Amino acid sequence: MRIILTWYPQINLKNGFWLLFYLPTEIFLTITKKIVGPIGGVDITPVIWFGLISLSRELLVGPQGIISQMLLKQAMQG
């Protein structure tokens, strides 16, 4: 949701309902914004975090992920 909200800069995320999306994510995005600035005037930090989270999930629990492989090995042994 935060990615979609970056497309609407006129929305004030610090007011009302939008706080549900703003507060939990802002600490991570603030840190990332210091490293990666806007590209073409567009804040891409939510996309970067979405990619990092997706990659981590895939590496851990995807079909070839570390945890999946450990469970598969354990099932074959016992």
Residue labelled with tokens 């997706």: 54
Looking at residue 7, its pLDDT comes to 78
Looking at residue 69, its pLDDT comes to 92
Residues ≥6 apart with Cβ < 8 Å to 17: none
Q: How many CA atoms lie less than 13 Å away from 48 in the CB half-sphere?
A: 16
Residue closest to 28 by CA, chosen among 52, 1, 10, 64: 52
Phi then psi for residue 42, to 5 deg, are -110, 130
* Helical spans, DSSP H, in the chain: 2-5, 19-35, 45-61, 66-77
Per-residue pLDDT of the chain (78 residues; tens, 9 = 90+): 888 887 787 888 888 898 898 899 889 999 999 999 988 888 889 899 999 999 999 999 999 999 999 999 999 987
